[in-house]
Each structure stands twice: as structure tokens, then as C-alpha cells.
């Protein structure tokens, strides 16, 4: 097994370990995600990639006929299933790797990929994941991608870097989580160099966001 595979497994095992506690701290959707979903028309098929406890899939369900939530962690997906049962929300929840999505090409009309890309432990894997998102987006489809950025007030660096950020479990045990922290220019370059088309990029509350579409969609603005 290569070092890269071991690290990928480590990311999955980390969230299997902290998943239940992590989900309890993630109740509300992010404002940028709310705006993105509410500003778009109703769609047939939507995707929440790196869905966590399905807080954003729940929003997608209000404006989508069919919603798929994908996450690598089995423990995290169980919290999503519980939330969907309690709130009577219909979401198809699948365990899968973000670099190999179990979906047909050109089928997703709206997607959100929030605070998950930065956990993939190499530039090549992050690029593969963005290319997969481009593959499954339908013509005219749009997605919102977000990552942690150097603009966050907890960081004092101007260039992107790899790090770990501890998660503290009840009782005080800390579990390190891998992150690649993007600088804004690096994030925009990563989107542009992938198979996605870039509509716009912006920074909000320490996160970089990109509104993107499938390859061939004309860029609409800064």
C-alpha cells in the first residue's frame, strides 16, 4: 500500500472515529450555501458531495426531486441517515470516494461540495475530485465548492499549506484532521485547471467559494 493510500484511509478513519460528535456540532447550513440553493430554480437531481450529516442535503431537498448525499465516512453517513429520518427528508445516502463518484455522467443539475475537498491528501486527488464533479454535472448544471482559506483568522500565512487541525472529543481526547489550506489565488487556479468551468470565486467568513459548471460553460463574471 502506498503512502498516499494510507493517508486517504487515515482521513476516512478519522471521521469514522469522530463522526457522531462532529455531526452534533453541525446543525445549521452555511449562509453562502443557503443563498446558492435558494437563488436557483427547482431541479430534478441534486448532489451533496461530502455531505456530512446532510444539513445541506436537507436544503437541497426543498428544491430538488431527487437528492444524493455522498461521504467517505460510514459513521458520518449514519448521522445523516438519522437526521433524515427525524426530519422526514428523502435523501439517497451513499458511501463513496470523491474521486470516483458512483453516478452517471451529465446527470446532476445542482451540487454542493462544502468543506470537504481540503481533506483530500494530495493535489492529484483534489484535482481528480474536481474533475469527477465536472463529469457528473449536466449541461447548464451548477455547483458550489468551498474550502478553508488562508483568509481565516486562525491562520497567519498568505500561501496555501498542508496542516492538521485537532478535533476535541468529549473527555478531552484530540484527533488530528488533515487539511490543505488554500490561498484564494491557488483555489481559483485549482478550479480553472480542472475540467470545471468557473463562474465566479469569492471569499466569505474565512472560506473560499467557487460557483462552477461543467466544461464548456462560459464564465459569467469575476
Query: Which pLDDT tens digit goes with each residue over 8-24?
Result: 678 888 988 997 888 77
Longest Cα–Cα distance of the chain, Å, equals 51
Inform me whether the pLDDT recorded for 59 exceeds 80: yes
Inform me whether the pLDDT recorded for 216 exceeds 80: no
SS3 111: strand
Instruction: Place 195 in a pLDDT band, splitting at 50, 70 and 90.
Output: very high
Residue 209 forms part of a structural domain: no
**Average confidence (pLDDT) over 91-117:** 97
Of 147, 39, 61, 141, nearest to 98 by C-alpha is 147
Residue 15 forms part of a structural domain: yes
CA distance 154 to 87: 34
What's the order of all strands across the beta sheet hosting 92-95? 92-95, 64-71, 43-49, 108-114, 137-148, 207-213, 197-204
Inform me whether the pLDDT recorded for 4 exceeds 80: no
Residue 211 forms part of a structural domain: no
**Average confidence (pLDDT) over 117-127:** 95
Residue 24 vs residue 186, higher pLDDT: 186
What range does the domain containing 134 cover? Answer: 3-198
Residue 220 forms part of a structural domain: no
Q: What is the CATH number of the domain that holds 49?
A: 3.40.50.150
Q: What is the pLDDT of residue 218?
A: 45
Residue 108 vs residue 221, higher pLDDT: 108
- Total domains in the chain come to 1
Q: What is the mean pLDDT of the chain?
A: 91
Measured between its terminal Cα atoms, the distance across the chain in Å is 43
Q: What is the pTM of this model?
A: 0.92
Residue 205 forms part of a structural domain: no
Residue 214 forms part of a structural domain: no
Residue 83 vs residue 3, higher pLDDT: 83
CA distance 204 to 190: 18
Residue 160 vs residue 217, higher pLDDT: 160
Instruction: Place 219 in a pLDDT band, splitting at 50, 70 and 90.
Output: very low
Inform me whether the pLDDT recorded for 212 exceeds 70: yes
Residue 212 forms part of a structural domain: no
Residue 111 forms part of a structural domain: yes
SS3 130: helix
| 160-180 pLDDT, tens digit each | 999 999 999 999 999 999 999
User: What is the residue-wise DSSP string for 66-91?
Assistant: EEEEEES-HHHHHHHHHHHHHHT---
Q: What is the pLDDT of residue 220?
A: 40
Angle subtended at Cα 98 by Cα 196 and Cα 113, rounded to the nearest 5 degrees: 60
Inform me whether the pLDDT recorded for 3 exceeds 60: no
Amino acid at each position: 500500500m502506498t503512502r498516499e493510500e494510507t493517508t486517504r484511509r487515515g482521513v476516512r478513519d478519522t471521521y469514522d472515529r469522530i463522526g457522531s460528535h462532529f455531526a452534533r456540532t453541525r446543525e445549521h447550513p452555511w449562509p453562502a450555501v443557503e443563498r446558492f440553493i435558494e437563488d436557483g430554480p427547482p431541479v430534478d437531481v441534486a448532489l451533496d458531495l461530502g455531505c456530512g450529516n446532510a444539513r445541506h442535503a436537507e436544503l437541497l431537498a426543498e428544491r430538488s426531486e431527487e437528492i444524493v448525499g455522498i461521504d467517505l465516512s460510514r459513521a458520518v453517513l449514519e448521522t445523516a441517515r438519522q437526521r433524515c429520518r427525524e426530519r422526514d427528508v428523502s435523501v439517497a445516502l451513499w458511501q463513496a470516494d470523491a474521486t470516483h463518484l458512483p453516478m452517471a455522467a451529465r446527470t446532476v443539475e445542482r451540487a454542493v461540495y462544502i468543506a470537504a475537498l481540503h481533506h483530500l491528501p494530495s493535489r492529484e486527488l483534489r484535482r481528480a475530485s474536481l474533475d469527477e464533479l465536472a463529469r457528473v454535472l449536466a449541461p447548464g448544471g451548477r455547483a458550489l465548492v468551498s474550502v478553508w482559506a488562508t483568509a481565516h483568522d486562525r491562520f497567519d500565512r498568505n500561501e496555501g499549506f498542508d496542516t492538521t487541525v485537532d478535533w476535541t472529543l468529549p473527555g478531552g481526547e484530540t484527533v488530528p484532521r488533515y487539511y490543505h489550506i488554500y490561498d484564494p489565488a491557488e483555489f481559483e487556479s485549482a478550479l480553472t485547471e480542472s475540467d470545471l468551468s468557473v463562474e465566479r470565486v469569492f471569499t466569505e467568513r474565512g472560506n473560499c467559494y467557487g460557483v462552477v459548471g461543467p466544461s464548456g460553460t462560459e464564465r459569467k463574471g469575476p
